[in-house]
Amino acid sequence: MTVAEFIEQNLIGRSLTSSPISALINDGRTEVTYADQTFFSDFVRREQGFDFDLTVITLGRRFGLHDGQRTELAGNMDAVRVYRYRMTERVSTGRLLGFARHISSTNTESDPVAGTCFMIQMRVEDGTLLVDERQIGYGDFLVPGGGRKPQALDSTYRYSLDAQGVLQVRFDQTTFDVDPDTFERTPSGDKFPTQVSREMFDREGQPVQR
In order, the DSSP letters of 103-169 are EEE--SS--TTTT-EEEEEEEEETTEEEEEEEEES-EEEE-TTS-EEEEEEEEEEEEEE-TT--EEE
Is pLDDT above 90 for 174?
A: yes
User: What's the pLDDT score for residue 210?
Assistant: 47
Query: How many whole angstroms separate alpha carbon 127 and alpha carbon 3?
Result: 10
pTM across the whole model: 0.89
Rounded to whole angstroms, how far apart are CA atoms 48 and 86?
A: 11
HSE-CB for 104 with a 13 A CA cutoff: 4
How far is 111 from 9, CA to CA, in rounded Å?
Answer: 32
Mean pLDDT of 13-36: 92
Question: Each residue of 104-163: pLDDT tens digit?
Answer: 989 867 788 888 999 999 999 999 999 999 999 999 998 887 789 999 999 999 999 988
Domains of the chain: 3-198 (2.40.128)
Phi and psi at 126, nearest 5°, equal 50, 45
Q: How confident is the model at residue 201 (pLDDT cuts 50, 70, 90)?
A: low
Q: By the 8 A CB rule, do 172 and 155 touch?
A: yes
Average pLDDT, the chain: 90
Cα–Cα distance, 89 to 156 (Å, whole number):
19
Check whether 18 has a pLDDT greater than 60. Answer: yes
Rounded Cα–Cα distance for residues 12 and 199 (Å): 12
181/78 Cα distance (integer angstroms):
31
First-residue to last-residue Cα distance in the chain: 24
